[in-house]
């Protein structure tokens, strides 16, 4: 399927995305995500791996639209509450 990300056309397939993301560890994320296999990746991380472009060159929305058209599940990471942040800071201190 032809997708345009950061004004450049890419021919992407679901199997190609799965192969590209194989062995890539998901970064901690906020905002939008793409579920590839059993892992949730930040949309910008997926876009960077697939396009080999700097993350500043495209939006997460462009990646989410393309991945949704390929059949991947996309969504938004839940926002951390102040209580969650305080608890995690306490545990790391």
pLDDT digits (tens, 9 = 90+) for 55-87: 999 999 999 999 999 999 999 988 865 455 445
Mean confidence (pLDDT) of the chain: 87
Residue 16: predicted pLDDT: 94
- The tokens of 81 are what? 């509450």
Can you give the pTM of this predicted structure?
0.79
Residue 88: predicted pLDDT: 52
CB contact at 8 A, 1 and 65: no
Which among 42, 38, 48, 43 is positioned nearest to 18, based on CA atoms?
Answer: 38
């Amino acid at each position: 399927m032809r997708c345009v990300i950061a004004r450049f056309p890419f021919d992407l397939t679901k199997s190609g995305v799965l192969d590209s993301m194989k062995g890539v560890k998901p970064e901690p994320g906020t905002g939008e995500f793409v579920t590839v296999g059993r892992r949730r990746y930040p949309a910008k991380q997926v876009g960077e791996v697939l396009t080999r472009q700097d993350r500043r060159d495209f939006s997460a929305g462009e990646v989410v639209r393309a991945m949704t058209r390929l059949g991947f599940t996309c969504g938004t990471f839940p926002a951390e509450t102040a209580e969650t942040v305080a608890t995690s800071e306490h545990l790391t201190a």
